[in-house]
Amino acid sequence: MLCQECQKNQATIHLTKMVNGQKTETHLCEVCAAKHGPFSLSIGLPLPFSIHNLLSGLMQEEDSAAAEVNPEQAPLTCPNCGMTYPQFRRQGRFGCPTCYETFESKLEPLMNRIHGSHHHEGKIPLRGGKGIDQRRRLDELKGKLLQAVAKEAFEEAAVLRDEIKRLSLEQEESKEC
């Protein structure tokens, strides 16, 4: 497909814009897209697009609200490399492995907002993934069983125990085949 602007080069950048249910597509070559600067055509992301810019933008929203609540508080600093949280926000990457632990309280809400969870489970392959799915289901049921016992909901615990036994037997039978 040729660039819609110069009609000479191959279009490598494809922008889709939805406004009030109206879909507009623009196909540009890299040269013409660069002329438009920071994607003035669509969403305001700089070229080349960087995930670091996206994450730092999300973190700035969160931190600006926190700064209004307590502007006097000293910035969180990594004890190993000395990186502060504002430095991480600007840079978009950590200075050392200890930074993950140091900034964990600020990262968890961010990851929940981006991914919907702070725990990554990954995808299950279509072929051979049944065993993984069964193990996850068993782990989930065992966790619910422990919670039911802690709440002293013994009837619910008995149902969960029976389900765990059934799934365990199914898993053993599938291994034998």
Range of the domain at 142: 130-176
Does 29 reside within a domain?
Answer: yes
Does 121 reside within a domain?
Answer: no
Does 6 reside within a domain?
Answer: yes
Instruction: Report the distance separating Cα 67 and Cα 157, nearest Å.
Output: 46
Per-residue model confidence as pLDDT tens digits over 131-150: 777 888 899 999 999 999 99
Of the candidates 23, 36, 25, the one whose C-alpha atom is nearest the C-alpha of residue 1 is 25
Shared-domain flag, residues 136 and 159: yes
Most confident listed range (19-28, 45-54, 145-154): 145-154
Amino acid 121: pLDDT:
66
Shared-domain flag, residues 59 and 108: yes
| H helices, E strands: number in the chain | 7, 2
| Mean pLDDT, rounded, for 31-39 | 69
Shared-domain flag, residues 59 and 86: yes
Amino acid 40: pLDDT:
46
Shared-domain flag, residues 68 and 78: yes
Percent of the chain with pLDDT over 70: 69
Does 124 reside within a domain?
Answer: no
28: pLDDT strictly greater than 80: yes
Shared-domain flag, residues 62 and 21: no
Amino acid 59: pLDDT:
55
67: pLDDT strictly greater than 60: no
Out of 87, 115, 143, a domain closes at: 115
Does 166 reside within a domain?
Answer: yes
Place of tokens 């034998």: 176
Does 122 reside within a domain?
Answer: no
Percent of the chain with pLDDT over 90: 18
Instruction: Report the distance separating Cα 164 and Cα 157, nearest Å.
Output: 10
Amino acid 95: pLDDT:
85
Shared-domain flag, residues 57 and 103: yes
pTM exceeds 0.75 for this model: no
44: pLDDT strictly greater than 80: no
Number of domains in the chain: 3
Per-residue model confidence as pLDDT tens digits over 79-130: 999 999 888 878 878 888 888 888 888 887 777 777 676 666 667 777 766 6
Shared-domain flag, residues 59 and 45: no
Shared-domain flag, residues 29 and 5: yes
DSSP string, 48-112: SP-HHHHHHHHHHHHHHHHHHH-TTSPPPB-TTT--BHHHHHHHSS-SSTHHHHHTHHHHHHHHH
Secondary structure class of 19 (helix, strand, coil): strand
Does 137 reside within a domain?
Answer: yes
